[in-house]
Amino acid sequence: MPLLVAPALPAGSLAAQEQPHLPVRPGLTLRPWRDDDAPLVRAAFDCPAIQRWHVRRLDDDAEARAWTAQWAARWSAETAASWAIVEGDDRPVGQVGLRQVSLAEASADVSYWVLPAARGAGVATEALLALTRWSFAAGLHRLALEHSTANAASCRVATRAGFAVEGVARESVRHADGWHDMHLHARLA
């Protein structure tokens, strides 16, 4: 069945290039994940504060390596992308990424988390702003995110990065402690 509207972005809009390294600020960069980041990823997924807002866990090093390895294929398929937020020593302190990328709609959802040692310094907000600038320059039209209404820190990150609250999806995500209402935020190019 033919489409009435052409895709907003042609296939290959992302995958035609290597996943870029993105500057955030002096001493902070976004780069693709590497296999040797797996121990840090496992530590992040073991963090109770990160687990509090996620629906998955990593049980061993092999799962952490699989998590880091998946991103190259997802970039090539143009379905998702994830960047390690790294400090000047190239050590990851967090993650920011695109999920549910739709070239047809030129849209994606964003996600982020930051390790406890890097919290409170604007790392998540600045990384999200860098990813947002790059995404819009790459041709995406809409970026959206959602977080539990109980996650005030994530709401501050989204708001500081210019993602307006669009509403609340009632009891739309189930975490370990039950159903959560989710704030919906978005930003347009």
- At 146-164, the pLDDT tens digits run 999 999 999 999 999 999 9
Q: Give the C-alpha distances (Å, rounded to integers) separating 109 from 25, 40, 101, 174, 177.
A: 23, 24, 7, 18, 24
Note whether residue 13 is domain-resident: no
Determine whether 135 is exposed, middle or buried from the number of CB atoms within 10 Å of its CB (0-12, 13-18, 19+). buried
What integer pLDDT is reported at residue 56 of this predicted model? 81
Note whether residue 130 is domain-resident: yes
Phi then psi for residue 13, to 5 deg, are -60, -35
Domain count, the chain: 1
Q: Is 123:92 a contact under the CB 8 Å cutoff?
A: no
Note whether residue 12 is domain-resident: no
Note whether residue 61 is domain-resident: yes
Note whether residue 49 is domain-resident: yes
- At 47-104, the pLDDT tens digits run 888 888 887 888 899 999 999 999 999 999 999 999 999 999 999 999 999 999 999 9
Note whether residue 17 is domain-resident: no
Answering whether pTM is above 0.85, one says yes
What's the CATH number where 52 sits? Answer: 3.40.630.30
Note whether residue 98 is domain-resident: yes
- At 17-33, the pLDDT tens digits run 999 999 999 999 999 99
Domain that holds residue 93: 22-188
Note whether residue 10 is domain-resident: no
